[in-house]
């Protein structure tokens, strides 16, 4: 497993189990934890949950800057995956759809599952949380099921 992925997963695991993960706070959200609970990443965009780099983000992206191995755009994509996985409407703004209890473990787990999938995508590897690998199972789509059923009738 690439170092940056392993490091990110370890930080997220620790935050999840120490109850220090919170989607709405830049120090303790998914990216906040990946960035060692610093808020420097929030200055890369104008809206929490946005995929749009602002001027500072664009400059840092073009200069090849990284925070703990991740580019500004990768950090924004990671945070968007986390917030979406937690059930937020993006980007976050007044009146946006939000979960009633953002600290609910199931909500946070769903967000983290989305983050790990996104981080694995960056590395070009299979999602390490994909349980279908353990069972050597490939899900079939509804269309495949309908085709199978119509052929067997």
Contact by Cβ (8 Å): 69, 95: no
Q: Please give the distance of CA 18 from its chain centroid, rounded to a whole number.
A: 19
pLDDT at 79: 97
Mean pLDDT of 17-40: 95
Please state the pTM of the whole predicted model.
0.85
The domains of the chain are located at: 3-152
The model's confidence at residue 37, banded by pLDDT at 50, 70 and 90, is very high
Average pLDDT over residues 94-120: 96
Q: pLDDT of 108-119, one tens digit each?
A: 999 999 999 999
Check residue 142 and give its pLDDT. Answer: 54
Query: Has residue 149 got a pLDDT over 50?
Result: no
Q: For residue 83, what pLDDT band results from cuts at 50, 70 and 90?
A: very high
pLDDT attached to residue 133: 67
């Amino acid at each position: 497993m690439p170092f940056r992925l392993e490091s990110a997963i370890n930080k997220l695991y620790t935050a999840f189990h120490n109850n220090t993960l919170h989607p709405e706070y830049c120090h303790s959200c998914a990216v906040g934890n990946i960035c060692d609970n610093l808020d420097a990443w929030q200055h890369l965009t104008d809206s929490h949950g946005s995929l749009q780099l602002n001027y500072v983000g664009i400059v840092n992206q073009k200069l090849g800057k990284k925070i703990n191995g991740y580019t500004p755009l990768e950090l924004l994509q990671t945070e968007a995956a986390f917030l979406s996985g937690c059930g937020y409407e993006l980007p976050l703004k007044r009146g946006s759809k939000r979960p009633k209890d953002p600290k609910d473990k199931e909500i946070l787990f769903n967000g983290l599952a989305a983050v790990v999938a996104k981080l694995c995508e960056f590395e070009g590897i299979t999602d390490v949380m994909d349980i279908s690998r353990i069972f050597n199972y490939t899900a079939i789509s509804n269309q495949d099921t309908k085709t199978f059923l119509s052929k067997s009738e």
